Amino acid sequence: MSNQPPRAPRHHSHNPLGHHLHAPGSQAPPPKNDEDTPIDQLRAELGAQNLQFGIFKQQLTSQLGALVQAHQTLQQENTLLRDEVARLGNEATHQRAELATLRSAVHAAAAERQEDLLRADNMMQGMWGQIQNLWTELRAVDQKARSELFGWLSELDTN
């Protein structure tokens, strides 16, 4: 293949433009095959420009197709991202509600434990009072028993 654009076909008339008519009987020399007439040159330029335009049009069409495909892909990805954002938003709302429920349960359990601690403290205070009373009674019984023992021992010594 040649790098030169295709040439338009040559049409030679008996009287190409730019040639003067000669007197009858004398013949004008025919144009040489290796030389282009101005019309041939214009046709060749037009053919080259048409080829370049066709290539340019094909490139633009290809690029436009690629852009349309990329746009459709981006729209699909955008839709997927929007769906994912909506799903994550719904999940976050659900988790916030669950967290609020758990927080309420923790507060209720803490209040219940506080009540349990207050009851245990009251019970412990009551038991401490009973222990102190028992200790006091035990010391009194011990003192009385010692006194009786010492009294009995004294009686034994004197007898």
pLDDT tens, residue by residue, 45-80: 999 999 999 999 999 999 999 999 999 999 999 999
In the prediction, which pLDDT does 153 show? Answer: 87
In the prediction, which pLDDT does 32 show? Answer: 55
Q: If phi over 0 gives left and psi between -120 and 50 gives alpha, with beta otherwise, what is residue 73?
A: alpha
DSSP H or E segment with residue 109: helix 38-158
More confident of the two residues 120 and 14: 120
In the predicted structure, residue 19 carries a pLDDT above the cut 80: no
Report CA Rg, the chain: 59
The predicted model scores a pTM of 0.42
Average pLDDT over residues 90-105: 98
37, 31 in Cβ contact below 8 A?
yes
Is the four-CA dihedral 71, 72, 73, 77 of positive or negative sign? positive
In the prediction, which pLDDT does 156 show? Answer: 83
Which of 13-22, 29-38, 104-113 is least confident? Answer: 13-22
pLDDT range class, residue 30, cuts 50, 70, 90: low
Output the CA–CA distances (angstroms, integers) from residue 4 to 1, 45, 47, 79, in the order listed: 9, 11, 11, 49
Quick one: which of 60, 45, 44 has its CA closest to 9?
Answer: 44
In the prediction, which pLDDT does 158 show? Answer: 82
In the predicted structure, residue 5 carries a pLDDT above the cut 70: no
